[in-house]
A and B are shown apart, each in its own frame.
Chain A
Amino acid sequence: MKNRLVAVIVMLWNLLLLPAALGGEIRVFAAASLKEVLTEIAGAYGKSHPGTRILPNFGASGTLARQIDRGAPADIFLSAGPEWMAYLVERERIEKRAVAVFAHNTLVFCGPDAGATKTGKMEDLPALGRIAIGSPKSVPAGAYAMEALKNAGVAAGVEGKLVMTRDVREALAYAERGDVDGAFVYRTDLLPGRGASIFFAVPQPLYPRVTYPMAPTAEGAGNPEAAAFHRFLGSAEAKRFLERRGFDTR
């Protein structure tokens, strides 16, 4: 009886110790705004590499960087801005020379289709009620938006109106449901027929260009399958998927 109990405990313990990544698994941590396009790219890659399974984890880039820093099993990191990639380089979780550019994007202000107020420029924003924005502490879209608000001189005017969301897609969801008057999201986040549309593109000199850096983590660098998928992410085929979804690849 006692022996059997010990055997069960040993078995469970061994299960816990199993390597987190079994052969053929690639764990990709990616910015929430890449959800659809990366799922498509992974699907295309899976077709030509039947033995490989890509396990994506989407979220705010800052939150993902934190998870990786704390030891979450990740092979590849795709961030919506350079800040959190630099953070992981600084923490020696990613090698600096391995970082490449995956894509670019544009920040827009969107709002509910049914909304009465359609704003056309940054200066109109203080007249709105509630505005959804990714929490700038961890969401790059929110950090870009905050910078644009400051540079447009309307940061004080929207104070107390900004609903902080955990990632950019949650900000979009608020706008689609009509719970806010508008939200800062990426151009590629908006899908037709979901209840929200673009009011205006945030003028470019107000914020730095949205750049998605990508890199294998220290762990992923030693995983040949992850290295192969990382190369595929930079391929012409991946770029076609990106462009079809409205991302800028140049």
Chain B
Amino acid sequence: MTVEAFAHSPDFAAIVLSLKVGATATLLSLPFGFAAAYIGTRLRPRAKAVFDTFVNLPLTLPPVVIGYLLLLLLGRGGWPGAFLRRHGVQILFTWKAAVIASAVVGFPLLVRSIRISIEAIDDGLVQAARTLGAGRLDTMATIIAPLSLPGIVAGSSLMFARSLGEFGATIVVAGNIPGVTQTLPLAIYDYAASPRGDGMALALCAVSVAVSVVVLLLHEAIVRKTARKG
């Protein structure tokens, strides 16, 4: 295959789509991830345990379960799906569904990293800000958010990496539509099912490994750099 033919093929589109879905899912999740991490540090032990269980659930649930539950919610029967459709928004079998699937599956990784950072903040700093007259929101914006930046960046890169590998939930809610919702793992799956697909499956596996290695190396570099600073 020539370079130009490859650039127009659904396989190349799958690589681009994976990056786009991962980035969108991560950016969309950031405010919610920060809020969830902050709430997690403020709760009483018992409430915290319940809250943590729910936040971490996607980490241990089979992704196909998440996909199926999302399908029921966003499909014909579910009220969120019906509500969105009334307003002309189609989610299932569009790339938006892939974003939602990735966001749900990667969310716990984001929250964990941010939470570790928030917990590491010296409580004296927060107390000092409050006694100097800063409100809750003010303290959050000027003390907690900047000091937890390493966790935010680390969590985002980890979540992005996880999104690139999302398969189980995505294939259920977004389907396998070449050029539209077929992400890199789905394209590999398509080739791997076919006896004549080995060459392309392996080539795309190589791309997948390369992208993951780069993202994880970046993640490590960021973590190391910020750890030195802290």
Q: Which residues of A contact B (CB under 8 A)?
A: 60, 62-63, 65-66, 69, 84, 87, 129-130, 135, 137-138, 159-166, 174, 177-180
User: Helix, strand, loop or mixed for chain B's interface?
Assistant: loop
Residues of the A chain whose Cβ atoms lie less than 8 Å from the Cβ of B93: 130, 163, 179-180
Asked whether B195 lies within 8 Å of A69 as measured between CB atoms, the reply is yes
For chain B, the count of residues having a C-beta within 8 Å of the partner chain is 20
Say yes or no: B195 contacts A135, CB within 8 Å.
no
The one of B178, B180, B193 that contacts A62, using a Cβ cutoff of 8 Å: B193
Which residues of B pack against A, CB within 8 Å?
71, 75-76, 90, 92-93, 175-180, 182, 190-191, 193-197
**10 A-B pairs with the lowest CB-CB distances in the bound complex, closest first:** A137-B194, A163-B175, A164-B176, A138-B194, A138-B193, A66-B195, A63-B193, A160-B180, A62-B194, A65-B195
Q: Please, how many angstroms separate the alpha-carbon atoms of A69 and B93 in the complex?
A: 33
Q: Give Cα distance in the complex from A205 to B191, angstroms.
A: 29
Q: Contact between B196 and A137 (Cβ–Cβ < 8 Å)?
A: yes
Q: Chain A CB within 10 Å — which of B177, B179, B182, B190 has the most?
A: B177
Interfacial chain A residues near B196, Cβ < 8 Å: 87, 137
Q: Which B-chain residue is minimally distant from A114 (CB atoms)?
A: B76
**Cα separation A65 to B197 with both chains bound (whole Å):** 12
Q: Which residue of chain B has the shortest Cβ distance to A62 in the bound complex?
A: B194
Contacts of B178 in A (CB 8 A): 160, 162, 164
Among A129, A138, A180, the most chain B Cβ lie within 10 Å of the Cβ of A138
A179 to B76, CA, bound (A): 8
Closest CB of chain A to B180's CB: distance in Å? Answer: 5
Assuming the contacts A62-B194, A62-B195, A84-B195, asked whether A135 and B176 have C-beta atoms less than 8 A apart, the reply is yes
Quick check: A66 and B193 within 8 Å, CB to CB?
yes
Can you list 24 A-B pairs, Cβ within 8 angstroms, ordered by A? Answer: A62-B195, A63-B194, A66-B194, A66-B195, A87-B195, A129-B90, A130-B93, A135-B194, A138-B197, A160-B179, A160-B180, A163-B93, A163-B176, A164-B175, A164-B176, A164-B182, A164-B190, A166-B193, A177-B75, A179-B71, A179-B75, A179-B76, A179-B93, A179-B175
